[in-house]
Every structure is written in structure tokens, then in C-alpha cells.
Amino acid sequence: MVTRVYPCFTKWHSIFYVNNKKIVPVDLYNLLTYEALAYWIMGDGTRSKKGLILQTQSFTLKEVVFIINILIYKFNLKCSIYMQRGLPTIYIHTNSMQEIIPLIKPYFCNSMLYKLNLSE
């Protein structure tokens, strides 16, 4: 069996992995768009009450603080660090979710809309 390799994924792998370890690129501010945030939430987002948790346990606390600063300054999201089993995750508060949903929802697959708590 042969695994296909797509050049577009190779590019992203080289940006987000160094020596096969996931990293937060220094230019994340420029890379993170509403579309990218939507994909991130679909992949690593967990709904929590009416807010959302981004599963960032593979990153250091310093990297998570860096990501939160980007979410605050670029998207005006109210975020906080929530420790799960001693590892940092990002909690996006309810009010921020209500403001950002119209901007990220167009990029969501129908099967992932439940992560946005739209029915509640």
C-alpha cells in the first residue's frame, strides 16, 4: 500500500513541526484567519457550556499564552487558560463565541456545527 503525499500538506507540516514536534510558529498572527480558526475548532475544539475549549495540551504554557494573545488582539476574543491534568488548554468565553460564530460558521462542515452550541 502506498500513502499519498500532498504538497500542500507538506508545506503546512514544515511550518507547524520541527524535528517531528508540533510547534507554534512565530508568524502565527499572520497565519491564523477566521477560516483557519474554524478548522482548528473543528479539529481540536470541545464545546463547554456555551464557550469552547481549544485542546492545546501539546504546547507549553508559554506557547499557549502566545496563542491567547493572538486570539485577543486579532479576533478580540475573551480567552483564559484552563489547566486539564496539569496541561494548558484555551477557554474561549461565551460572549466571544457569540461574536465570532457568524465569522467562522461559513467554513464549518455541517457535522461539526454542534461544537458551536447553536441550538442552545
pLDDT over 60 (residue 67): yes
DSSP string over 19-78? TTEE---TTHHHH--HHHHHHHHHHHEEEETTEEEE--TTS-HHHHHHHHHHHHHHH---
- Per-residue pLDDT at 31: 96
Q: Specify which residues 22 forms β-bridges with.
A: 17
Cα 83 versus chain centre, distance:
16
- Per-residue pLDDT at 119: 61
- Per-residue pLDDT at 61: 96
State pLDDT tens for residues 79-108.
999 999 999 999 999 999 999 999 999 999
Query: What architecture (CATH level 2) is domain 26-116?
Result: Roll (3.10)
State pLDDT tens for residues 21-48.
999 999 999 999 999 999 999 999 999 8
CA distance 109 to 88: 27
The model's pTM: 0.88
Supply φ then ψ for residue 77, to 5 degrees: -95, 140
Q: Are 53 and 45 in contact (CB under 8 A)?
A: yes
Cell of 76: 478580540
- Per-residue pLDDT at 5: 75
Q: Where are the domains of the chain?
A: 26-116
